[in-house]
Structure 1
Amino acid sequence: MSAVLVLGMLSALSAPSFAQSEPVRVVTTIGMIGDAVENVGGDCVDLTTIMGPGVDPHLYQARPADVRSLQTADVILYSGYFLEGRLGEVLDKFGEQKPTVAVSPASIPREDLIATQDSYGVDPHLWMDVGLWSRIVPTTAEVLAQARPDCEARFRTNAQAYREQLLALDGWVREAVASIPEGQRTLVTAHDAFAYYGRAYGIEVAGIQGISTQAEASIADIRATADLIATKGVPAVFVESTVNPRTIQAVIDAVRQRGAEVEIGGELFSDAMGEEGTAGGTYVGMIVGNTRTIVQALGGTVPDLPPALAGWAAQWSLAGAEG
């Protein structure tokens, strides 16, 4: 456990209780954490998420409005493991003033992470493994309970229900990916954000760029990816909502130069969820949408959603628990 994590958790656990008649003002960096706070906190929290749809956290720089939100927050939750990049120093400073918790290190030990050879040291895209990401839910409930003790029972009940949804989702993704013909289980994306997805659900992943989007893909990266696609007969590649699609197009052109063809299988959510007010604007919807897109493009069959997600499906006017 890092020194930053220890300080963050001590800050959270020693925080004084806030006025119990008002919601706790919680600021999160990415939508995937915000979704957990919303599901666990309900009307006991007033949530602000800094990075919205289509925003790349690797490149994000704090705006004056973000600083004001952080200044007025009672609790700040961020992912950690260097995901927030340039925002990291700002978060460190606020950690000296108020409960500021990196939920990934607080919930998931390094031995469960995917190591990388770059400056990150570990892959920060943990939400791509739903079972792994579900571990942030009890942490979220604990931090919120410290801030609003009168809502503690509600937080814990909500957290249990939400985590059960995520564990059911985890099993559904596993079943869906397993339906892809074995020879076609290769997921080619714009940048390397899906390694946890690949490890958890049994699909080979090839990201043209590395973990971060700070550096452009090289010609060698494009050629190597095109060689892989042409050799294995990969039927589809995928663009991402937070990454410029020109790299994917360069790969498609390089594949054609090798006498093969590959299609764009669709757009995936990688570092951010979809638009607010849509199914894709929820974490469950992000994963369901990605999985449907991947499975359909690679020749698999999308199963019905599990009963545990019937309420979520009904909320977004999807046909019950049907896939």
Structure 2
Amino acid sequence: MKKLMFVLFLLPVLLLGCQSGDAQPKNEDGKVEVVTTIAQIGDVVKNVGGEHVNVESLMGPGTDPHLYKPVSSDIEKMDQAEVIFYNGHHLEGQMNSVFKKMKKQKPTYPVAEAVPEEMMDADPENPEIYDPHVWFDIEMWKYAVDEVTKGLIEYDPDNKETYEKNAEAYKKELDELNAYAKKRIEEIPEQSRVLVTAHDAFHYFGKAYGLEVKGLQGLSTESEYGLNDIERIINTLTERDVKAVFVESSVSDRSINAVVEGAKKQGHEVNIGGELYSDAMGPKDTEEGTYIGMFRHNIDTIVEALK
């Protein structure tokens, strides 16, 4: 009897201990706690998950994911998350070991790796690696939307119908954006459809909309550039009579300024056509802080400068 009474006394304490461990819901409001790396993916999760998710993106405006190194607070956020979405294809190269660890603990999805291989292009400097910048081709990015939808449904099947409905509505918006982009690009004379940026983040963008893309650096900002690269870009600008080049919000403008100055010395006047969002989006709570707003900003900036 004494043993029974002791067990009955101890039972609530044991139950309380269980509730304070991993089995406890991460969020009292019942929403799924999601962490993403780049904000582009975070915006997809917000659109698909709607009221059923809380989303936090580790990399904010002006952040270069190629060079980003996670800090202790990032590891803590991923530890506390219920689902993690990242790009993959070595975009977040400094975080690969972290993702391997997280995959053993919780659902962790590389959304860009859902794009069929036949749609992907290899890095010219490293043929074993694919170009990770899939968000610049809307048709490719819709595969990322599907991967996010799949991941949320697998973790939270009770809201499957809502996630699927939100995803379809969002992809319709993306189709409208795609049509808008194609129509606006037609305003640029064919000879001037050359997009010059600091690094080659816009390769898929160029293929999708008929622009020749020239980047001083390769697919990653870890790549080096030299005088030969600057000279190569200047020759293209002169031959094609291109009047504008572009800086990127997440990359130093030093290399592009070198191109502008070099072209000027050779008698070819080139201006900075504006700032494009490449690996990072705009500030939170702005149009450019959404995927659609960011993409539209890039289209309008490029067209106005080159047409």
Question: TM-score, structure 1 length as denominator?
Answer: 0.85
Q: Which residue of 2 aligns with 1:264?
A: 272
CA distance in 1, matches of 2:266, 2:239: 10
How far apart in 2 are the matches of 1:243 and 1:216?
Answer: 13
Secondary structure of the residue aligned to 2:59 is coil
Structure 2 match to 1:183: 191
1:154-183 C-alpha deviation (Å, 9 max, x unpaired): 111100000110011111111111221111
Give the fraction of aligned pairs with identical amino acids, expressed as a percent. 44
Please state how far the C-alpha of 1:19 moved relative to its aligned partner: 8.2
Is 1:232 equivalent to 2:240 in the alignment?
yes
Q: Does 1:104 align with 2:115?
A: no
State the Cα deviation string for residues 193-247 of structure 1 (Å, max 9, x = none).
Answer: 0010100001111111111101332111111111111121101000000010010
For residues 115-194 of structure 1, what are the structure 2 equivalents within 5 Å? 115-119=122-126, 121-194=129-202
Say whether the 8 Å CA contact 1:26–1:74 is kept in structure 2.
Answer: yes
Decide which structure has the larger Cα Rg and report it: 2
Counterpart CA distance in 1 for 2:30 and 2:222 is 40
The answer to whether the Cα contact below 8 Å between 2:245 and 2:270 also exists between their aligned partners in 1 is: yes
Match of 2:102 in 1: 94
Q: What is the Cα deviation at residue 141 of structure 1?
A: 1.1
Match of 1:80 in 2: 88
Residues 155, 19 of structure 1: alpha-carbon distance in 2 compared, 3 angstrom cutoff:
farther
* 2:67 counterpart residue number: 59
Alignment coverage as a number of residue pairs? 282
**Helix, strand or coil at the partner of 1:135:** helix
After TM superposition, the score normalised by the length of structure 2 is 0.89
Higher strand share: 2
Once superposed, what is the RMSD of the aligned Cα atoms?
A: 1.5
Amino acid at match of 1:55: T
Correspondence for 1:286 among 277, 281, 294: 294
Matched, 1:195 2:203: yes
Letter of the 2:41 counterpart: I
1:25–1:75 Cα contact (<8 Å) kept:
yes
Find the partner of 1:273 among 281, 290, 299. Answer: 281
Hey, what's the Cα distance between the residues in 2 that align with 1:19 and 1:244? Answer: 39
Counterpart AA for 2:121: I
Offset, 1:259: 1.3
